[in-house]
C-alpha cells in the first residue's frame, strides 16, 4: 500500500506550488530514477539475462561445492547480479594488484570465434583461500602488495578448476571445453578486451568464514551475443522439429483409431415410391420394379454418404460389386 502523505507534507506541497518553486522529490522517487546512457544502448533482452542468471546460478552452486571440499570449510557462493557495461568501467574499479584468470571457453562451433573471458577473484577471497591452503584458519588481512610466486602458483590451480566448472552449466545450451590460458595480476595490461567494448559482468558473492567478497566473470558482449544467438536458434529449430514430430504422431494416432472403426457399407440396388395401399397389399412372388435399368451401376453408401458405384456380380459364390467410380459426395 502506498505511503499516506502527512498534513505537513501536503501543506509544503501547496506552498511550493503557490510560490512557483520546484516540487519536492522524495528519496523513494529518486530511487526509482535510473540513468540511461544512449551512447551505449543495452544489447541483451530481459529474456537473455534470465538465461544467463540460470546458467550462473548453477555455476555458483558448483563453486560452493568445490570450495567447501577444497578448503574444508563451509563456503557459500551466490549470484548477486548481472550487469552490462563498458570494459573500462569494470577495469577502472579494480585495485592495483588483482587476481585475474584469462579463460578460453573452447567453444565447439566453427561459426563462433575464439572467446576469452576473465574470472576476477577479489583480493579478500584470494588471500582467504591462500591462508587456508597454507595451514591457516582461512582469514583475510588487508594488504596492498603484489602476489608472490607461491601465491600465484596456488591460485593457478584454483583458477583452472574455476574455468573447468564453467562447462557443466552451459552444457544444455552449447558445448564448451574451457581452459585457463594465463594469470594476470595487473589489470591495466590486459589486452584481450578493448576498453570501449561492451561486456557482461557476472558478480558472484563468495562467503568463507567471516570473509564476504566478490568473484566476477567478465564476458565480451560481442562473443556472448554470438553464443546466445546460436543456441537460441538451435533451441527454436529443435522445438520446431519436436512440434512437427508430435503433430505427425497425433495424426497417426487419430488415423489408427479411425481405421479400426466399424462402418456400415450398403449397396443400393434402386428405389421406388409406393403408396400405403400398395405396401399393405404386397404378397409373395410380387415383383417390384426399381428405378434403374439392369445395365446401370449400383450405388454404394458408407454410413449415410454416397461413396462409390459399380457393377453388380458374384465373387466366390457371393454377390459382389466391382467399383468403377468414386462419387465423393
**One domain, residues 173 and 110:** yes
| CATH assignment of the domain containing 116 | 3.40.1550.10
How does the average pLDDT of the chain come out, rounded?
83
Of the pLDDT bands very low, low, confident and very high (cuts 50, 70, 90), residue 248 is confident
pLDDT at 22 over 70: no
**One domain, residues 284 and 160:** no
pLDDT at 329 over 70: no
From edge to edge, which strands make up the β-sheet containing 99-104?
Answer: 75-86, 198-208, 211-220, 116-121, 99-104, 179-184
> Is residue 6 included in any domain, yes or no?
no
pLDDT of residue 154: 95
The pairs formed by 161-168 with CB atoms below 8 angstroms and a separation of 24 or more are: 161/66, 161/70, 162/63, 162/101, 162/103, 162/119, 162/121, 162/215, 163/101, 163/103, 163/119, 165/59, 165/62, 165/63, 165/66, 166/59, 166/103, 166/105, 168/58, 168/62
Q: Which of these, 312, 301, 306, 311, lies nearest to 327 by C-alpha position?
A: 306
> Is residue 291 included in any domain, yes or no?
yes
CB 223 within 8 A of CB 112: yes
User: Who has greater pLDDT, 1 or 232?
Assistant: 232
pLDDT of residue 261: 75
> Is residue 135 included in any domain, yes or no?
yes
**One domain, residues 196 and 64:** yes
Domain residues for the domain of 190 are: 36-237
Return phi, psi of residue 201, to 5°.
-105, 115
Strand, coil or helix: 260: coil
**One domain, residues 112 and 213:** yes
Question: Which of 62-66, 224-228, 273-277, 304-308 is least confident?
Answer: 224-228
Residue-wise pLDDT for 301-310, tens only, equals: 888 888 899 9
pTM exceeds 0.85? no
Q: What angle (nearest 5°) sits at the alpha carbon of residue 204, between those of residues 202 and 210? A: 160
Question: Which of 34-38, 55-59, 106-110, 314-318 is least confident?
Answer: 34-38
pLDDT of residue 237: 46
Of the pLDDT bands very low, low, confident and very high (cuts 50, 70, 90), residue 235 is very low
Average pLDDT (38-45) is 65
pLDDT of residue 236: 47
| Percent above pLDDT 70 for the chain | 79
> Is residue 91 included in any domain, yes or no?
yes
**One domain, residues 213 and 276:** no
Q: How many domains does the chain have?
A: 2
pLDDT at 263 over 60: yes
Average pLDDT (119-142) is 91
**One domain, residues 190 and 272:** no
| CATH assignment of the domain containing 294 | 2.30.330.10
pLDDT of residue 33: 64
**One domain, residues 315 and 276:** yes
Amino acid at each position: 500500500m502506498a505511503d499516506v502523505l502527512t498534513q505537513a507534507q501536503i501543506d509544503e506541497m501547496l506552498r511550493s506550488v503557490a510560490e512557483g518553486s520546484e516540487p519536492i522529490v522524495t528519496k523513494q522517487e529518486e530511487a526509482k530514477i535510473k540513468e540511461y546512457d544512449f551512447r551505449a544502448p543495452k544489447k541483451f533482452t530481459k529474456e537473455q539475462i534470465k538465461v544467463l542468471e540460470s546458467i550462473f546460478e548453477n555455476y555458483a552452486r558448483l563453486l560452493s561445492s568445490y570450495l567447501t571440499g577444497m578448503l574444508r570449510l563451509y563456503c557459500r557462493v551466490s549470484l548477486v547480479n548481472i550487469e552490462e557495461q563498458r570494459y573500462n568501467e569494470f577495469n577502472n574499479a579494480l585495485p592495483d594488484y588483482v587476481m585475474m584468470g584469462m579463460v578460453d571457453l573452447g567453444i565447439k562451433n566453427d561459426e563462433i570465434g575464439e572467446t576469452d573471458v576473465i574470472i576476477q577473484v577479489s583480493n579478500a577471497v584470494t588471500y582467504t583461500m591462500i591462508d587456508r591452503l597454507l595451514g591457516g584458519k582461512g582469514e583475510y588481512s588487508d594488504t596492498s602488495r603484489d602476489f608472490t610466486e607461491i601465491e600465484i602458483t596456488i591460485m593457478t590451480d584454483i583458477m583452472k578448476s574455476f574455468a573447468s566448472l564453467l562447462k557443466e552449466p552451459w552444457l544444455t545450451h552449447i558445448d564448451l571445453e574451457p581452459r585457463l590460458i594465463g594469470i594476470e595480476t595487473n589489470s591495466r595490461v590486459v589486452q584481450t578486451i578493448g576498453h570501449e567494448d561492451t561486456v557482461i559482468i557476472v558478480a558472484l558473492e563468495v562467503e568463507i568464514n567471516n570473509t564476504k567478497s566478490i568473484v566476477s566473470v567478465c564476458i565480451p558482449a560481442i562473443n556472448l551475443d554470438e553464443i546466445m544467438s546460436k543456441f537460441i536458434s538451435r533451441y527454436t529449430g529443435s522445438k520446431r522439429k519436436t512440434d512437427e514430430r508430435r503433430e505427425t504422431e497425433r495424426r497417426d494416432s487419430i488415423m489408427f483409431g479411425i481405421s479400426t472403426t466399424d462402418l456400415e457399407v450398403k449397396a443400393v440396388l434402386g428405389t421406388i415410391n409406393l403408396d400405403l395401399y400398395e405396401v399393405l397389399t404386397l404378397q409373395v412372388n410380387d415383383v417390384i420394379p426399381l428405378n434403374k435399368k439392369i445395365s446401370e451401376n449400383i450405388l454404394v453408401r458408407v454410413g449415410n454418404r454416397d461413396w462409390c458405384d459399380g457393377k453388380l456380380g458374384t465373387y466366390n459364390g457371393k454377390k459382389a460389386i466391382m467399383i468403377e467410380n468414386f462419387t465423393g459426395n
